[in-house]
Amino acid sequence: MLLDLLNGNTDGLRLIITFFSRLFVIFCTMPIHEYAHALIATKLGDQTPRLSGRLTLNPMAHISPMGAIMMLLCGFGYAKPVSVNPRNFKDTKKGMAITALAGPVANLLMGFVFITCSVYMSILVKNSLIIYAIYNFLLFAGVLNVNLAVFNLLPIPPLDGSRILQLLIPAKYYYKFLEYERYVTIVVFILILTGVLSKPLSIISGFFIDLFTKIAMLPF
C-alpha cells in the first residue's frame, strides 16, 4: 500500500483516511455530541449528567462499543445515552426534546465546519499528497458528522429522535409505541445493516452536505 501511495495511487489513501476519520468521529465528535446533551440538560436545570460524570469531553465516558463498531463498519453509529431526570425540567416534554436535539445540532455544526474547511482546502489541492490527504480527512469527517446527526434523529430508542418524537405526538400514541420499542429497534438496525435504510438516510445526509457545500462556496 505504501508503494501505491508513493506511485500516486490514492485508493489506499482513501481507505486509510476513511478509517481514521471514523476513529476521529468515535473519539472526538461522538463525545462532543454527548457533551452537548449533558450541557443543555444541566443548563435546563437537571444536574444528573454532571453527577453521573457525563459533563465531560473524555471519550471513555461516552463510547458505546456497539455504536463504535457500527460507525467503523457502516458510517452510522451512536454513543452511550446521557442519563437525565426529566422531572428536573420546568417543562418535562420540551426539556427532553431540547436536550435530545442538542446532540444532532452539535454534529451538524461540526459537519458544517469540517465541510467548509474541506472546500477551502480543495482550492489548494494541486499535486500535493499531504494537502490531498488533509482535504479528504476534513471532507470525510464532515460527512460522518452529518451522517451521525441524521442517524440519531431516527425515532427509535435509544436514539435522540425518540425523545423528540415524544414532543411531537400525543402521549397515548408515544406510550403505545414504547410497548413495541424493542422490536422496532431490532428491525430498524437490521434494515440499516442490510443496507435497506442506507439509501434514504444517505439522501437526507446528502441534502445537508450539499447545503453546507453551497454555503461554503458562496465567497468564491
Q: Which of 101, 213, 218 lies closest to 164, judged by CA?
A: 101
Residue 67: all three cell numbers together = 455504536
Torsion on CA atoms 196, 202, 204, 205, rounded to nearest 10: 150
CA distance 107 to 31: 10
Residue 47: all three cell numbers together = 444536574
**Cα separations (Å) of 11 from 7, 74, 131, 186?**
11, 19, 15, 34
Give the type of residue at 70. Answer: M
Q: Which of 116, 142, 118 lies closest to 29, judged by CA?
A: 142
- Residues assigned a catalytic role: 34
Which residue shows C-alpha cell 499531504?
130
CA distance 19 to 72: 7
